[in-house]
Chain A
């Protein structure tokens, strides 16, 4: 099956700093999503981005499908950005439309 690797595994930032989170995947995908899991365990959709670039406030994401990677940018980080960031991909349709998750990146933003 498709492999998803995220880096770095852990990241510590001072409030106000910027960061880049990376997701590499081993095969062509038709869906890529970024999630933020907050300390209460809730998975929050950040982006649906199988290709191209999107921005939402302080967050933006870019997926280069031909090179099989995606980047999540966090600017002017805040303590509320802390948590685990997951990248998940799908390479099939219909009955094979499941998401495969990376191991996640644990972000800690210090005041």
Chain B
């Protein structure tokens, strides 16, 4: 199994600013994933983060808006840039060899 932690757990941000979310895994994993969960909705994959290469973004998500870093096999960050109220969501990271484990999520509110 894998234990995944995220920081911050929640934040309230002003329009136009950025928020960086950190994700730490307690074991090395090849791939980490970032998801967005809008209010009352299911999870949507933003991007796949591989160590040592550019992240792979899903349709509708772009690097300028959601830059991702993956400096090693246990850590990744997601930045949500130029925030607008539509970015208010829960952001979750996940990882794992076969079974995917999820962090507790970061609840973002944009005013």
Residues on A with C-beta less than 8 A from B33 are: 98-99
A86 touches B (CB below 8 Å): yes
| Nearest CB in chain A to that of B44: its residue | A101
Q: B40 to nearest A CB, angstroms?
A: 9
Query: Inside 8 A of B90's CB, which chain A residues have their CB?
Result: 41
Inter-chain contacts of B107 with A (CB < 8 A): 41
Stretch at the interface among B11-19, B68-76, B97-105: B97-105
**B98 surroundings in chain A (CB, below 8 A):** 31, 48
Within 8 A of B (CB), among A25-49: 31, 33, 35, 41-43, 45, 48
From A49, which residue of chain B is reached at the shortest CB distance? B99
Residue of A nearest to B2 (CB): A45
Query: How many chain B residues touch A (Cβ–Cβ < 8 Å)?
Result: 23
Q: Mark B61-92, 1 if CB is under 8 A from A, else 0.
A: 00000000000000000000000000000101
User: B interface, by DSSP: helix, strand, loop or mixed?
Assistant: strand
Interface contact A99-B100, CB-CB below 8 Å: yes
B56 proximal to A (CB < 8 A) = yes
For A60-90 the 0/1 string (1 means CB < 8 A from B) is: 0000000000000000000000000010100
Interface size on A, residues (CB 8 A): 19
CB contacts (< 8 Å) of B31 on chain A: these are 95, 97
Q: Check A104–B92 contact: CB distance below 8 A.
A: no
CB distance from A75 to the nearest CB of B (A): 23
Given A41-B90, A41-B107, answer yes or no on A99-B45 (Cβ-Cβ < 8 Å): yes
